[in-house]
Amino acid sequence: MTAPIELVRHRHVVLCCGTGGVGKTTTAATFAIEGARRGRNAVVVTIDPAKRLANTLGLEHLSNSAHEIAREWWDPDGDAVPGGRLHALMLDTETTFDQLVQTYARTEEQARGILSNRFYRNIAGALSGTQEYMAMEKLYELHDRGGFDLIVVDTPPTRHALDFLDAPRRLTRLLDNRLFRMLMVPTRGVVRVGGVAAAAFLKTISRVVGTEAVDDVVAFFRAFEGMEEGFRDRAAQVMQLLAADETAFVLVTSPRRDAVEEAEYFAGRLADGEFSVDALVVNRVHERYSDVEPSSLRDRARELEGRRSEASSRLAAHYANLADLEEVAVRERAELAGLEDRMGDASVVHVPELGHDVHDFAALRAVGRHLMGAD
């Protein structure tokens, strides 16, 4: 029951993971569209989509709340199941983080203190893993309050894209940091910068990065005091949602060697976290046109070339071309064999190389037909 069509029909959360450049965003958008077409209230959370795909989804700018896409766009023929709705949003990492701070701050003043802190702005904008973290936060918010049946999340295209599994824990780890604890020695309920050793340590760091930066860090940790609990609880809730039966993991890859290697790494990391892949989607697979071995086709081309007539030379070029394309198709299947064997109960779907970029609804629908199979 892990075919893509089952996932869009029955699951509540679908996480598309994979390395950059394999068509992850397109796959995520397709899952949401196909869900909506089957009567579900669907939303897709995209991260940095290619411009034309973003335009198709009505995402000209970062938009932190889901906006609805008019039905006429994704159901132009009116043949989809009634009642479905389609929404999209493009993750705005910084705003999402700001909102999270506002949620957990005990007072307006505390929130203001944090939001205006330069160290915090660096975390919100640049800390590795923040984007992953906020994607998960947005997922949780949509799950908690959005009223959606199906939430499809595109994950960031970082090399270690599975950082999102760690992401909710990352900030709490920063707060559990020994430096932090060393700096913050509570004295009679007031937090102050700790002992002589800490002061000396800070002074040395200041020599490298300048006093301003260190002051910012200290001010940040002070301002954050008392909020860790809320963040920790939230991280635990997000992990629970990820582990739930209603959540599916879709691993997206392409048949290129490097992408397959990354996908194997991902599958391994998911397994380490006791998550399993429900479906493997391989985008841009070259079709096989023939059952004949590419080497035989190549031989045939050579033999025809040797005949030295114009017609046979032209035919030879056709055979050479067929041999080229078959060689790619065979190599891709060999490249994928190991990964696909390791997929266990997960479904495996190939989306053929369509020969053009996918960025309008018609093309997304075409991909959807390949993904969902016969309805």
Partner 1 sequence: MDLERFCSASRVVIVAGKGGVGKTTVTAALATAAARTGMSVLIVEVEGKSGLAACFGVAPLTYEEAELRPRVRARTLTPDDALLEYLDGHGMRRISKRLTRSGALDVVATAVPGMRDILVLGKVKQLEQARAADLIILDAPAAGHAVSFLLSARGLLDAVKVGPIQRQAAEVVELLSDPTRSQVLLVTLPEETPVNELVDTAYAVEDRAGVALGPIVVNQCVPPLTLDGDADADAARAGITLAASDRDALKAAATFRADLTRRQDEQCLRLAERLPLPQLRLPYFFTADVGPTEIEQLADDLVLGIGAMADVR
Site for partner 1 in 61-120 (CB under 8 A): 118-119
- Using CB under 8 A as the binding rule, whether residue 302 contacts partner 1 is answered as no
Number of residues that bind partner 1 (CB under 8 A): 71
Answer for which of 6, 48, 225, 360 binds partner 1 (CB under 8 A) is 48
Tell me the closest approach of the beta carbon of residue 114 to partner 1, in angstroms: 14
Name the residue nearer to partner 1 (CB basis): 120 or 249.
120
Q: Residue 62 in 3-state DSSP?
A: coil
Tell me the closest approach of the beta carbon of residue 260 to partner 1, in angstroms: 11
Tell me the closest approach of the beta carbon of residue 249 to partner 1, in angstroms: 21
Tell me the closest approach of the beta carbon of residue 179 to partner 1, in angstroms: 4
Tell me, what DSSP letter sits at residue 289?
A: -
DSSP string computed for 159-208: TTTTHHHHHHHHHHHHHH-HHHHHHEEEETTEEEE--HHHHHHHHHHHHH
Say which residue the tokens 């008019």 belong to: 70
| Number of helices followed by number of strands (H, E) in the chain | 17, 10
Tell me the closest approach of the beta carbon of residue 57 to partner 1, in angstroms: 15
Site for partner 1 in 320-339 (CB under 8 A): 320-322, 324-328, 331
Name the residue nearer to partner 1 (CB basis): 242 or 282.
282
Tell me the closest approach of the beta carbon of residue 221 to partner 1, in angstroms: 9
Q: Tell me the residue type at 261.
A: E
Site for partner 1 in 229-258 (CB under 8 A): 254, 256-258
Residue 13 buriedness (CB in 10 A; 0-12 / 13-18 / 19+):
buried
User: Which secondary structure element, helix H or strand E, spans residue 327, and what is its range?
Assistant: helix 310-341
Answer for which of 166, 261, 264, 340 binds partner 1 (CB under 8 A) is 261
- Using CB under 8 A as the binding rule, whether residue 282 contacts partner 1 is answered as no
Site for partner 1 in 118-137 (CB under 8 A): 118-119, 122-123, 125-127
Name the residue nearer to partner 1 (CB basis): 228 or 324.
324
Name the residue nearer to partner 1 (CB basis): 191 or 328.
328
- Using CB under 8 A as the binding rule, whether residue 196 contacts partner 1 is answered as no
- Using CB under 8 A as the binding rule, whether residue 209 contacts partner 1 is answered as yes
Tell me the closest approach of the beta carbon of residue 210 to partner 1, in angstroms: 4
Give the torsion sign (CA, 35, 264, 25, 150).
positive
Q: In what order do the strands lie in the sheet with 279-285?
A: 63-69, 85-90, 41-46, 150-154, 13-17, 247-253, 279-285, 347-352
Name the residue nearer to partner 1 (CB basis): 156 or 368.
156
CB atoms within 10 A of CB 281: 27
How far is the C-alpha of 14 from the C-alpha of 94, rounded, in Å?
Answer: 23
How far is the C-alpha of 269 from the C-alpha of 98, rounded, in Å?
Answer: 30
DSSP bridge pairs for 44: 88, 152
In this structure, what token pair is assigned to residue 259? 């992408």
- Using CB under 8 A as the binding rule, whether residue 157 contacts partner 1 is answered as yes
CB atoms within 10 A of CB 51: 10
Tell me the closest approach of the beta carbon of residue 177 to partner 1, in angstroms: 5
- Reference 34, options 8, 14, 57, 55; nearest CA is 8
Site for partner 1 in 340-359 (CB under 8 A): 355-357, 359
Name the residue nearer to partner 1 (CB basis): 26 or 41.
26
